[in-house]
Amino acid sequence: MSKKYSYIGVSFIILLFGIYVVRNIDSRVEKDELIQDNRLNKVDKNSKKTSSLYTFNKVPDFEFINQDGKVITNKDYKGKVHVVEFFFTTCPTICPIMNQKMLTIQDEFQGNENFGIASISITPEIDTPEVMKEYAKVYKITHPNWHLLTGQPEEIVYALSNKGFKLFAGKGEEDHGGFEHSGLFALVDKEGNIRSRKDKFGNPIMYYRALKEQTFPDQIKELKEDIKILLNE
């Protein structure tokens, strides 16, 4: 008989504990304290939905000269969702393809002042502001927040690419114009954080493919969709 009452007592305690946990979770959601995946992916207290885009590290500080001879820093992108690429104007292989894809992104968000693009040269000695200006004319780059950036020594650009963005850039084969770089685009939110969607297995992709890779298509459609998500955050 005493064993039966003991089981009843344990069950009652478990029930009370369960009620407490559920009420505590509801309270944390209401107060915007519930965090999923990492400490930066927080439940929005208005929408009650967690952002579908994963948050990585902040973009490091940088300072360059754009195609109009104006000094541009990462602070100029504050409050703007933007896409970052590393390229060079004399690239004979992937850069023309990448920037044709980037033009479709420009066209999609042409009238949006809260959107921008940063195209950073990995050959600053060649890519002067004057060269960048001509490149912008040839490619019909017209969005006021699309800056073609140059003016820093190679080693600083390589450090920004390889260590800051973790996108490869460096010396390469002559077939590639003597330099190599990633065919990926980085998506950055209004606060300067690198963001990305997750793949079908729930893993963050980190960057978006600008090029087709073997059996994998590019991810420009997905990138446009995720830009819109960040613009609405």
Predicted local distance difference test score (pLDDT) of residue 209: 95
Whole-prediction pTM: 0.76
The DSSP 8-state label assigned to residue 165 in this structure reads I
Predicted local distance difference test score (pLDDT) of residue 169: 78
Q: For residues 122 and 109, what is the distance between their CA atoms, to the nearest angstrom?
A: 26
When pLDDT is averaged across residues 208-230 and rounded to a whole number, the result is 94
Predicted local distance difference test score (pLDDT) of residue 213: 82
Q: For residues 209 and 85, what is the distance between their CA atoms, to the nearest angstrom?
A: 11
Predicted local distance difference test score (pLDDT) of residue 44: 41
* Mean pLDDT for the chain overall: 82
Predicted local distance difference test score (pLDDT) of residue 92: 83
* Alpha-helical segments (H) within 117-219: 129-139, 154-159
Dihedral, CA of residue 4, residue 8, residue 13 and residue 16, to nearest 10: 170
The DSSP 8-state label assigned to residue 217 in this structure reads P
Q: For residues 82 and 63, what is the distance between their CA atoms, to the nearest angstrom?
A: 16
Per-residue model confidence as pLDDT tens digits over 146-176: 999 999 999 999 999 999 999 987 654 554 4
Per-residue model confidence as pLDDT tens digits over 67-109: 999 999 999 999 999 999 999 999 888 999 999 999 999 999 9
Strands 184-188 and 208-209: antiparallel
- Taking every pair of Cα atoms in the chain, the longest distance, rounded to a whole number of angstroms, is 93
When pLDDT is averaged across residues 46-54 and rounded to a whole number, the result is 62
* Alpha-helical segments (H) within 171-219: none
pLDDT over threshold 80, residue 40? no
Per-residue model confidence as pLDDT tens digits over 123-149: 999 999 999 999 999 999 999 999 999
Q: For residues 118 and 82, what is the distance between their CA atoms, to the nearest angstrom?
A: 7
pLDDT over threshold 70, residue 36? no
Predicted local distance difference test score (pLDDT) of residue 187: 98
Residue-by-residue DSSP string for 55-68 = EEEEPPP-EEE-TT
Predicted local distance difference test score (pLDDT) of residue 185: 97
Backbone angles phi and psi of 106, in degrees to 5:
-55, -50
Q: For residues 135 and 67, what is the distance between their CA atoms, to the nearest angstrom?
A: 9
Predicted local distance difference test score (pLDDT) of residue 123: 94
- Look-up: residue for tokens 């991810």? 219
Dihedral, CA of residue 33, residue 36, residue 41 and residue 46, to nearest 10: -50
